[in-house]
Structure 1
Amino acid sequence: MSMEYETIAKRLETISAIPVTPFHPVTKRIDWAALEQNIHFLLEQGLQVIVPCGNTSEFYSLTLEEAKAEIAKVVEIVNGRALVVAGVGYSTETAILLGEYAQAAGADAVMIHQPIHPYATSRGVYTYFKTVIESLAIPSVLYFKDPHISDDILLQLALLPKLVGIKYAVNDLPRFAQLCRNMPKHSSVKLICGTAEKWAPFFLTAGASGFTSGLVNVHPTLSFELLQAFRSGNMAAMWAIWEKTVPFENLRAKYNNGNNVVVVKEAMNQIGHYAGATREPVDPLDERDRAEVRAILEGWGLPTARSGDNERPRSH
């Protein structure tokens, strides 16, 4: 791994923010002004890694042109103040084309989504990741979330100079700990907890260098306090903070993770950080879940302006 890639890998040792994509509640078009406001919020709160076109960004509901536009817009807004890791995916050719676009737009790296295919094999996934990684000049982070795919492919891919990180989203702690122990000795690849604050303390203890977060769009202070408490060895404080995040993350996990994005958007809307609506196949929250979001926010001491996501804040 070159010095440049090692530097980028080192910068992943933190919280990776996955921003939402704000959609207008009627037209479902992207609200670019709201996206800009939300990215500025993340930067002002000290986030150093921003991942446009992640799953919390509703990547799979974006057209390719929208994905390109979002990557370019985020790079422009960030303007070198944080690492921009652009999500790419779909077919091998499409992932490469998106990666080349991200590269030309000025992204620092790409995050390669795990290929969505009903008949994937470990060797096939290895080939997919390897082909995309080697086709781009900028470094790559892998998004690994299928428990049926062997971790052995990650150990092989970790030998590639342009791989700088693995976002690991399989909640099997003994398996992840073994992966950490088996990583090639000279690899600078950073292993990142890909399942947010609920799982972060466990993955960090097992050897992760950081974690991804959707919560940072709402209450980044909690996320940073959790990471800092772990790093300082203050386990009592870490678990106290963790307990505050769990109800939010549990609500996101409801309906087989169907609530993952919409809970974040609802929370943002309720505190006045416009996130808009979700696109199909994600439903709006029902009244019961909206009320639970409100109760969680109030428990954190965050003032809630309203419930629902159909009214755009007047500040826009």
Structure 2
Amino acid sequence: MINKQPPSGISGFPVTPLNENGNIDETALTKNIEFLLEEGLESIFIACGAGEFHNLSSEEFESMVKLAVSVVDGKVPLYTGVGGNIKEAVEKAKISERHGADGYLILPPYLIEGEQEGIYEYYKTIVTSTDLNAILYQRANAVLEAETLDRLVEFPQVIGLKDGLGNMELNIELTQRFRNRLAFLNGMPLAEVTMPAYVPLGYNCYSSAISNYIPHISRKFYNALLAGDQHTVNDIYEDVILPINRIRRKRKGYAVALIKAGMEIVGLPVRNTVRPPVVPVEREHYDELKQILDKALQKYPPQKNTITK
């Protein structure tokens, strides 16, 4: 029986560690997932945006799903990333089901923008291919209007909507209309930046890039936000979140690459390597991030040291 309870709290999105030959480092990936579990993240999303989904072969995707299912071992909900061309998306949804994932996040499908009917058919084909939970992603060229979403929520597999677009007018319309039917997840780049605007709309889950390397700070921020502790929220904005976000915006692809750099800086076994067209973090920006993290870890030390090289 598939658990239809949608993700809540802070979701972990492991990266795809690469070894010196450019292949997946499964030992490092295992430690990445274990670290997120030890830090209490409420769900794991494997092989999604932070995991360089579009740069994975089907064989690599399947190996990552199998590994993640084994490591997570039912401790928290486990989701995968599917998307791209429709045949591969369906194949990856079925791989996810075959290996015991709880569901998947559907990433944007295509180079061009599709009409609403085309986007509907794309999502419908994927979500009806398995019984797994499906979370739809508002991002890039895959943006659902309320009327299209109204047709998709007829499928019980559709349990959530994740926003990576930032159109607050649309977000208000969708949360008001579907708040009793869907869970809403904040998937904006460095979601902590926008979470104070999303919480009042009913978003009770977000994907945290910084949780890959400083999850205790993300947790402290979110707890303060929910408790109305604006002083702590402001301090963490000033000390950590906004400085990191300024670096993220300096180069395209840093939404992924900067995570790996941060993980390497704090001692996790992840190299500052990515697959093209994403580029590694430049030394100047790497050093800037290190300075931010050094100061942040002094002011907000972790309660326990779970990082092992």
Q: Same-fold call, TM > 0.5? A: yes
- C-alpha distance in 1 between matches for 2:113 and 2:227: 44
Matches within 5 A, 1:262-301: 262-276=257-271, 277-301=273-297
Aligned twin of 1:306: none
Q: Residues 42-191 of structure 1 correspond to what in structure 2 (within 5 A)?
A: 42-146=36-140, 149-152=143-146, 153-183=148-178, 186-187=180-181, 189-191=182-184
SS at match of 1:164: strand
Does the CA contact (< 8 Å) of 2:82 and 2:104 recur in 1? yes
Aligned counterpart for 1:192 among listed residues 185, 198, 218? 185
What are structure 1's unaligned runs of at least 5 residues?
Answer: 304-314
Closer/same/farther in 2, CA of residues 231 and 99 from structure 1, 3 Å limit: same
C-alpha distance in 2 between matches for 1:5 and 1:74: 17
Match of 1:204 in 2: 199
Larger CA deviation: 240-249 vs 98-107: 240-249
Whether contact under 8 Å (1:222, 1:245) holds in the other structure is: no
Letter in 2 for 1:281: P
Give the partner amino acid of 1:253.
R
- Aligned amino acid, residue 292 of structure 1: E
Corresponding residue of 1:246: 242
Instruction: Tell me the distance in 1 between the aligned counterparts of 2:119 and 2:175.
Output: 20
Provide structure 2 residue ranges, at least 5 long, that are not aligned to the other structure: 300-307
Aligned to 2:33: 39
Say whether the 8 Å CA contact 1:167–1:193 is kept in structure 2: yes
Q: Distance in 2 between matches of 1:95 and 1:292?
A: 38
Q: Residues 123-142 of structure 1: CA distance to partner in whole angstroms, max 9, x if unpaired? A: 21121112111111111111
Counterparts of 1:85 and 1:286, CA distance in 2: 31
Offset, 1:47: 1.0
**Cα distance in structure 2, aligned partners of 1:250 and 1:268:** 18
1:131-175 CA distance string (max 9 Å, x none): 111111111111221377342223332332111111111112233
User: What amino acid is the match of 1:172?
Assistant: N
Deviation sequence 1:257-276 (CA, Å, 0-9, x none): 42111111111111110222
Q: Between Structure 1 and Structure 2, how many residues are aligned?
A: 296
Identity of aligned residues (%): 27
- Deviation of 1:182 (Å): 2.0
* Cα distance in 1 between the residues matched to 2:13 and 2:221: 17
Measure, in 2, the Cα distance between the counterparts of 1:20 and 1:302. Answer: 25
- Alpha-carbon distance, 1:222 to partner: 1.5
How big is the shift at 1:280?
1.0
| Equivalent-residue separation in structure 1 for 2:141 and 2:246 (angstroms) | 20
* Structure 1 segments (4+ residues) deviating >6 Å: none
C-alpha spacing 1:231/1:131, structure 2 compared with 1 (3 Å): same
Distance between the aligned counterparts of 2:25 and 2:224, measured in 1? 36
Query: Could you tell me which residue of structure 2 aligns to residue 22 of structure 1?
Result: 17
Q: 1:5 deviation in Å? A: 5.0
Q: CA deviation at 1:117?
A: 2.5
Change (3 A) 1:13 1:136: same
Does the CA-based 8 Å contact 1:173-1:206 persist in structure 2?
Answer: no
CA contact (8 A) 1:23 1:30 kept: yes
